[in-house]
Amino acid sequence: MGLGRGLAIGTLAVGLLVTSETPALAGNGPAYKDSWRPVKVRVADLLGRMSLDDKLGQMMQAERLGVKSPADVTTGRLGSLLSGGSSQPTPNTPVTWADMYDGFQKAALATPLGIPLVYGVDAVHGHNGVYGATVFPHNIGLGASRDPRLVQKIGRATAEEVSGTGIDWDFAPCLCVARNDRWGRTYESFGEVPQLATEMSTVITGLQGTRLDQPGSVMATAKHYVGDGGTTGGVNEGNTEISEQELRAVHLPPFKAAVDRGVGSVMISYSSWNGVKMHAGSYLINDVLKKELGFKGIVVSDYNGVDKIDGKTGFTPEEVEASINAGIDMVMVPYNWQTFIDTLRTLVQQGRVPLSRIDDANRRILTKKFELGLFEHPLTDRRFLKTIGSKDHRDLALQAVRESQVLLKNDHHVLPLLKHGKIFVAGKNADDMGNQSGGWTVGWQGTSGPVIPGTTILQGIRSSSSKVTYAKDGTGIDQSYDVAVAVVGETPYAETKGDRPQGMGLDDTDLATLQKLKDSGVPTVVVLVSGRPLDIAAQVGDWAGLVESWLPGSEGAGVADVLFGDYNPTGKLPVTWMRSAGQQPINVGDGRPALFPFGYGLHYSRHW
Ligand code: GLC
């Protein structure tokens, strides 16, 4: 056997024996930079080269607006950045996003060890922070579709658009189980039962692909752990006062499903469980999530989540100690990241936070960065720029809109509409992209108006019929019309601003419009654009037809497809529809009389 071959076999044999305990062999450079080595080996080698400040920096996720320049990323040795809901580059275009990402990434690579950063955004219904991206229906509408395969495809499409801007971490999906529709984040939930969020966790597989380092994959985030949708009174960031048995039965299963799917990160909820802030919840994070469920990825705090532990502004050493020891690996500390690093360094030096905890957090963070392939491909894969807002993705969104519509009332077969009929359209949500997209749309809170390109519901109706008259407030309706369509409901909101502690009815604008239509005597079909059921029991009797449209996003034509019967509605309620706001919380199995029960949804009989 020639020496060369023998040497080759020898090297191969040694190579095969390489384990996470094997010290890095002499090579051209540091072992962690060798892409052929097992991730565990690369992590061990890199960790062994890191100073305490390297490690502390890796655990920080700053808001991009919280760094004065990319140079701060280098000096702070920051492990991550994020764009919060309203933190978009100017101008807001896919290319400026990609250039921004690459600028920050090059700064991270300029650190002594050249550890790439990971960058997070809330792409919660498409890459919704980017102008021109495809905006899919919010989760509650996807829950109504009952179509996990569709949701997986949406995850993939979203991941491709996110990848086209360089971003590699998506703070989605929300796997919350919305038990009280007063909650301002009900629309971010797939529904009121754990089975829906569990079934729709397919979105994680869409986002992450079969490998995190495959082109177009991004790291997903199961959020918000745990029980955010179960707070008393549906108060956002409130207190979930239930037994451990109920927490495990209702709110935990979607997170188990996410962990079983290999979700890369889990975000901690602002809420409390029986008075204990989740951000200081060692039992549920360390013992249940990491040990019992075997979660090996990154536990990330919510935005300033550590600050909120004591309910006062800013974070204290005690809050930092509690949150890191509770198992939080990466801290979303938008602006005061240097103070956090300094505080945590002192806590480590005092022995209040063990170095082993810091090392565990870094192993988790570095493991994901290696798995994402960031050391080999740190910059934007601009091949995916062309997927942003592409026809394929918009067609997928259109199908999602169709499948999410829920037909709740159809007296005398008023639906489907006749394309040759004389149709009067009214309502503040008929021709408003912002209202039909809801919160988290090119801005945290979303906003009314032409905020994104796409098709409004009215535009969809007009493309199906030439005899359409539109008046937002219903002025001009008369007996000459065969049918009136009133597109009404909510205006955009996000998080606490969406809480409804008082009434949950239609607003005065909508009530006035509906009254005009009622007074005309023309049969009225109501299309409700909302992030949750509304209290409509007093009005629904006046309506000939009712479709719950949820928050359909950029492809409003999908609503018209259902109205005209080009798609026979298949949607089913993912939440129980109250008879009155006073019934909240009301959920399937309560045994109480609903206006429309969980799972309810009509379709058109064959002979229309
Ligand atoms: C927000 C939300 C969370 C989001 C994070 C970053 O406050 O609670 O869902 O991922 O901050 O924008």
8 A C-beta contact, residue 124 and residue 440: yes
Which DSSP symbol is given to 164?
Answer: T
pLDDT at 75 over 60: yes
For residue 604, give the H/E element and its range: none
Residue 543 belongs to domain with CATH number: 3.40.50.1700
Band (pLDDT 50/70/90 cuts) for residue 11 is: very low
Q: Is 542 a catalytic residue?
A: no
Mean pLDDT along residues 292-298: 98
Residues in the chain: 608
Summarize pLDDT for 452-486 with one digit per residue, the tens. Answer: 999 999 999 999 999 999 999 999 999 999 999 99
Q: Is 84 in the pocket of ligand 1 (CB under 6 A)?
A: yes
Cα–Cα nearest to 222, from 236, 239, 210, 205: 205
DSSP string, 191-227: -SSHHHHHHTTHHHHHHH-SSTTSTT--B-EEEEETT
DSSP string, 472-525: TT-TT--TT-SEEEEEEE-----GGGG--SS--S--HHHHHHHHHHHHHT--EE
377 and 497 belong to one structural domain:
no
| Residue located nearest, by CA, to atom 12 of ligand 1 | 84
Q: Last residue of some domain: 352, 386, 420?
A: 386
109 and 139 belong to one structural domain:
yes
Cα–Cα nearest to 289, from 268, 318, 320, 261: 268
Summarize pLDDT for 158-175 with one digit per residue, the tens. Answer: 999 999 999 999 999 999
User: Would you call 377 exposed, middle or buried from its count of C-beta atoms within 10 A (0-12, 13-18, 19+)?
Assistant: middle
Task: Give the Cα separation of 222 and 460 in Å (integer).
Answer: 34
Summarize pLDDT for 171-213 with one digit per residue, the tens. Answer: 999 999 999 999 999 999 999 999 999 999 999 999 999 999 9
Gyration radius of the chain over CA positions: 26
454 and 325 belong to one structural domain:
no
What 3-state DSSP class applies to 48? Answer: helix
Which residues lie across from 409 on neighbouring strands? Answer: 546
Mean pLDDT along residues 74-91: 97
pLDDT at 29 over 80: yes
Measure 277 CA to ligand 1 centroid, in angstroms. 16
Among residues of the chain, what percentage have pLDDT more than 70?
Answer: 95
Asked if residue 319 belongs to a domain, the reply is yes
Asked if residue 394 belongs to a domain, the reply is no
Asked if residue 397 belongs to a domain, the reply is no
Measure 184 CA to ligand 1 centroid, in angstroms. 13
Q: Is 34 in the pocket of ligand 1 (CB under 6 A)?
A: no
Torsion sign (Cα): 22, 27, 32, 37: negative
pLDDT at 596 over 50: yes
Query: SS3 sequence, 317-337?
Result: HHHHHHHHHCCCCEEECCCCH
Which residue type sits at 319?
Answer: E
Band (pLDDT 50/70/90 cuts) for residue 28 is: confident
339 and 451 belong to one structural domain:
no
Residues of 144-170 as b/e, b for ≥16 C-beta within 10 angstroms? Answer: bbbbbebbbbbbbbbbbbbbbbbbbbb
Query: SS3 sequence, 288-305?
Result: HHHHHCCCCCEEECCCCC
Task: Give the Cα separation of 459 and 450 in Å (integer).
Answer: 13
How are strands ordered across the β-sheet holding 423-426?
406-410, 545-548, 524-529, 483-489, 423-426, 468-470
Which residues lie across from 63 on neighbouring strands? Answer: 82
Measure 153 CA to ligand 1 centroid, in angstroms. 24
8 A C-beta contact, residue 39 and residue 373: no
Mean pLDDT along residues 251-269: 99
Domain of residue 38, residue span: 1-49
| Residue located nearest, by CA, to atom 7 of ligand 1 | 303
Mean pLDDT along residues 507-522: 98
Q: Last residue of some domain: 342, 358, 386?
A: 386
Asked if residue 601 belongs to a domain, the reply is no
356 and 441 belong to one structural domain:
no
Mean pLDDT along residues 249-266: 98
Considering its fold, how many domains does the chain have in total?
3
Asked if residue 237 belongs to a domain, the reply is yes
Residue 247 belongs to domain with CATH number: 3.20.20.300
381 and 411 belong to one structural domain:
no
Tokens of 523: 């049969």
Q: What is the pLDDT of residue 312?
A: 95
Q: What is the pLDDT of residue 15?
A: 42
- The helix, strand and coil proportions of the chain, stated in percent and rounded to the nearest 5, come to 40, 10, 50
Q: What is the mean pLDDT of the chain?
A: 95
pLDDT at 4 over 60: no
Residues of 216-245 as b/e, b for ≥16 C-beta within 10 angstroms? Answer: bbbbbbbbbbbbbbbbeebbbbbbbebeee
Band (pLDDT 50/70/90 cuts) for residue 83 is: very high
Q: What is the pLDDT of residue 9?
A: 44
Q: What is the pLDDT of residue 20?
A: 46
514 and 538 belong to one structural domain:
yes
Mean pLDDT along residues 361-380: 98
83 and 228 belong to one structural domain:
yes
Q: Is 303 in the pocket of ligand 1 (CB under 6 A)?
A: yes
Summarize pLDDT for 89-122 with one digit per residue, the tens. Answer: 999 999 999 999 999 999 999 999 999 999 999 9
Asked if residue 595 belongs to a domain, the reply is no
374 and 520 belong to one structural domain:
no
8 A C-beta contact, residue 485 and residue 527: yes
Q: What is the pLDDT of residue 607?
A: 58
291 and 319 belong to one structural domain:
yes
Q: Mean pLDDT check: name the lowest of 16-25, 220-229, 395-404, 514-523.
A: 16-25
Which residue among 170, 237, 495, 561 is the active-site one?
495
377 and 472 belong to one structural domain:
no
Among residues of the chain, what percentage have pLDDT more than 90?
Answer: 95
Q: Is 495 a catalytic residue?
A: yes
Which residue among 54, 181, 302, 329 is the active-site one?
302
What 3-state DSSP class applies to 160? Answer: helix
Measure 455 CA to ligand 1 centroid, in angstroms. 28
Measure 556 CA to ligand 1 centroid, in angstroms. 26
Atom of ligand 1 nearest to the CA of 188: 9
| Residue located nearest, by CA, to atom 3 of ligand 1 | 302
Count Cβ atoms below 10 Å from residue 122 Cβ, excluding itself: 24
Asked if residue 525 belongs to a domain, the reply is yes
Mean pLDDT along residues 429-456: 98
Q: Is 440 in the pocket of ligand 1 (CB under 6 A)?
A: no
38 and 58 belong to one structural domain:
no
Asked if residue 598 belongs to a domain, the reply is no
Mean pLDDT along residues 296-320: 97
